[in-house]
């Protein structure tokens, strides 16, 4: 694979694609009437987004996009089928699908829509897009690369092998991606640019090994936590499970959040930590990624539960309350303390 430095964020063509995606996204969000929606994309929409795809391939893609149970996943069988029909390698397919990923962006502050498509070790693809929290510090935002990684993580993916994005990754995201076990070899794909590796994008990297950590993101390790008494309510159980699945090797402060929507669905998010601390992804933001990938909006949240270890070095509660207050002000976050299993 040829390595290259990305000095240009967008080509003229890329900017036009982004603008078209933003206009279509606005129209789609405008026509969405409720959470229990019918299909949020139709054949005409998809034709605008991936005009080079054949009708059968667009139909396959449409079925997956409108299947809310998939929550932002394009299963490996569909990826293989579409790639075979279009005679494209997966990497080219990922770049072609970036305008679709941009539809999931929620950027009320910047109006700058970024899409990402991650390829899992299983062969499945995962959508990602940027998410901004109005009237809150910019540190509450989720970058598209983070969203794609979190999406794959919440699907219990074994790892990532490639990531396509419609803009060169910022330093924040390069640091976040450096938590992957195969970070140096991760393929980074941008439209109209040669592919690169993370090793080229992040030389002299600082990561887990600098802190003496062997654990890596997607390593499958979980925390042994319990509640006293045991939770009887589904939302609390989901938050506890998400907390146990956290990746928090540095602070050892696992936490998880579960959200309930107007449609009665549950969306859970696990805390994902980083060696440099600041690029860490809070559990609420991870849960919001899942919710948006499930075709719902933050305003659809009706209940939220945070489970975190009592007296841990850090707490997610205050930041989660602030962000939730900006997105779903009628909802009160319920914090449930956990303890280590004895």
Residues designated catalytic: 145
Return d(Cα 114, Cα 112) in angstroms, integer.
7
Return d(Cα 206, Cα 147) in angstroms, integer.
22
Hunting for tokens 């935002």 — which residue is that?
141
Return d(Cα 305, Cα 236) in angstroms, integer.
6
- CA distances, 288 to each of 238, 259, 295, 328 (Å): 14, 8, 11, 11
Identify the helix (H) or strand (E) that includes residue 119. strand 115-120
Q: Are 269 and 72 in contact (CB under 8 A)?
A: no
Residues sharing a CB contact under 8 Å with residue 328, sequence separation 6 or more, in sequence order:
298, 299, 300, 301, 304
């Amino acid at each position: 694979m040829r390595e290259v430095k990305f000095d240009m964020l967008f080509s003229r063509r890329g900017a036009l694609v982004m603008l078209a995606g933003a206009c279509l996204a606005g129209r789609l969000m405008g026509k969405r009437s409720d959470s229990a929606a019918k299909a949020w994309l139709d054949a005409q929409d998809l034709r605008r987004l991936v005009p080079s795809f054949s009708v059968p391939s667009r139909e396959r893609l449409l079925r997956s996009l409108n299947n809310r149970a998939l929550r932002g996943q394009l299963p490996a069988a569909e990826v293989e089928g579409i790639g075979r029909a279009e005679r494209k390698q997966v990497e080219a397919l990922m770049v072609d699908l970036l305008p679709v990923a941009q539809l999931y962006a929620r950027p009320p502050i910047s109006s700058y829509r970024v899409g990402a498509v991650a390829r899992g070790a299983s062969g499945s693809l995962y959508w990602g897009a940027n998410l901004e929290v109005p009237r809150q510090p910019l540190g509450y935002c989720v970058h598209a690369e983070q969203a794609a990684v979190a999406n794959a993580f919440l699907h219990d993916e074994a790892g990532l092998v490639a990531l396509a994005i419609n803009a060169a990754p910022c330093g924040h995201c390069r640091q976040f991606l450096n938590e992957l076990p195969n970070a140096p070899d991760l393929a980074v794909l941008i439209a109209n640019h040669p592919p690169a590796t993370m090793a080229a994008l992040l030389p002299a990297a600082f990561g887990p090994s600098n802190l003496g950590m062997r654990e890596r993101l997607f390593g499958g390790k979980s925390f042994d936590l319990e509640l006293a008494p045991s939770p009887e309510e589904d939302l609390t159980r989901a938050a506890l499970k998400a907390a146990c699945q956290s990746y928090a090797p540095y602070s050892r402060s696992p936490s998880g959040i579960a959200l309930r929507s107007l449609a009665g669905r549950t969306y859970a998010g696990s805390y994902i930590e980083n060696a440099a601390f600041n690029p860490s992804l809070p559990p609420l933001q991870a849960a919001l990624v899942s919710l948006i990938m499930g075709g719902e909006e933050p305003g659809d949240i009706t209940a939220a539960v945070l489970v975190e270890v009592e007296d841990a070095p850090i707490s997610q509660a205050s930041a989660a309350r602030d962000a939730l207050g900006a997105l779903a002000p009628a909802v009160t976050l319920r914090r449930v303390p956990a303890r280590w299993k004895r």
